[in-house]
Structure 1
Amino acid sequence: MSQQPSLFYHETAPVAVRIATAVGITMAGFIAGQTASASYLAIPALMEAPAPLLARQWKKLYDIGFSIGPAAYLISSSTFGWLASREPTSSSAFKLYVTAAILIPSSIPYTILLIQPTNDKLEQKVKSFANTSLTDAAVEAGVSKEETTHALVDKWATLNIGRAVISVTGTLCAAYAALSKIDVRGFSSVGLGSGANRLG
């Protein structure tokens, strides 16, 4: 009964490629994690606050994300584009890197088209509560349920999950592209000769 040869992994990529791969995947993963954590961790905790405080906390969360996001999108997308340019256009790695390079920054048009209207309403809430006590729980007494700060923040968190899905998908594409570059060889394919064999 024949046995399958043991496998080992042999990485031959240049140092620049390895560094670019690590930076690109790390930045994409950071974007995905930061975006998902806003919806799954931060917002549920913030929703316990009264409307004026919630609006201010959402604004702080939004500003932090906005200060980090564009640079992270640019770094990861341009890195994946560069990695794709080094691959044969017919290879799966090329297609995966191109997909990642397109997906990661596509969160920007997604935000403009789907989330920006909610952002605008929440920004207006922040301004309207500027001179309101942060603990005033009755400040939105006459506001329709769909237009309350809590409803808008909840909607924002739901839409934001879409951005997280986009970023996670891009990250996975890039990671798979990087893994597809690792050569897998069996020990049986490696010639190990004795001294007599080397002498012919």
Structure 2
Amino acid sequence: MSQPTPTFTTTSPSSLIRLLQGITPLLSSFTTGLSLSLSVILVPRLLESPSPLILRQWLSAFHQGKKLIPGLSILSSLGYFLLSWWHFHPSGGSSTNGRLSKIYLLAGVATLSIVPYTRIIMWPTNLKLMAKEEEFSSWGVDHVLVTEEEEKGAKYLVDHWGLLNLGRAGLVGLAAVLGLGAGYI
């Protein structure tokens, strides 16, 4: 009796695809954690400080986050779109591959949707915070007294930004869950 010869099919994922299936959800999970930490850890600590300091520290964190989070999100969405393309079979591949393609596509769209979310939902608050920080910094270092209304206004804006940022973290978190879940289909 002869041993059956192993056959190779085009439907088995290559090493690169397996790597993407592991790294892409990991990357979006990391991005979710990073974004969540801004709302859950940073914002409450900022709210303990006086308004001029809150705004200066928020602006610094904003500029750091702007350098990192969009790039990580774009990399994640590219990974999800590549996985979706890989699993898409227009000639009628298995139904599992069709489902995987849709799940990865949805994960890519969810990740990329932080861009319009930020521009439409968060940007007005970002602009108000930047304007208020510029106003406070124009007073100079010696000016540390702010009115109660100014104090509440700055704290409200930072707190509001933290709540809005939870939505952005939720979008990337949804992508991470979809990407991880697709690995079990």
Shorter-chain TM-score above 0.5:
yes
Q: Does 1:100 align with 2:87?
A: no
Which one-letter code corresponds to 2:176 in the other structure? T
Question: Are the structure 2 counterparts of residues 144 and 51 from structure 1 closer, same or farther at C-alpha, using a change threshold of 3 Å?
Answer: closer
Pairwise CA distance, 1:28: 0.6
CA deviation map 1:58-110 (0-9, x unaligned): 01111111000221111110111011111145522111100001000101101
Identity of aligned residues (%): 28
Pairwise CA distance, 1:134: 8.0
Q: Does 1:154 align with 2:159?
A: yes
Which one-letter code corresponds to 1:126 in the other structure? E
Query: Paired residues, what number?
Result: 166
| 1:35-46 equivalences in 2 (<5 Å) | 35-46=35-46
Contact 2:51 2:151 in 1 (8 A): no
Q: 1:170 aligns with which of 156, 170, 175?
A: 175
Gaps of 5+ in 2: 1-11, 90-94
Bigger helix share: 2
Contact 1:53 1:135 in 2 (8 A): no
Q: Which residue of 1 aligns with 2:52?
A: 52
TM-score of the superposed pair, with normalisation by structure 2 = 0.83
How far apart, in 2, do the equivalents of 1:72 and 1:31 lie?
A: 7
Contact 2:73 2:172 in 1 (8 A): no
Q: Which residue of 2 aligns with 1:8?
A: none
SS at match of 1:129: helix
Pairwise CA distance, 1:132: 3.4
Which one-letter code corresponds to 1:106 in the other structure? S
Q: Which residue of 2 aligns with 1:129?
A: 136
Q: Which residue of 1 aligns with 2:13?
A: 13
How far apart, in 2, do the equivalents of 1:31 and 1:45 lie?
A: 21
Question: Are the structure 2 counterparts of residues 48 and 143 from structure 1 closer, same or farther at C-alpha, using a change threshold of 3 Å?
Answer: closer
TM-score of the superposed pair, with normalisation by structure 1 = 0.77
Gaps of 5+ in 1: 1-11, 181-200
How far apart, in 1, do the equivalents of 2:108 and 2:149 lie?
A: 46
Q: Does 1:118 align with 2:121?
A: no
Contact 1:25 1:171 in 2 (8 A): yes
How far apart, in 2, do the equivalents of 1:140 and 1:165 lie?
A: 35
Which one-letter code corresponds to 2:183 in the other structure? A
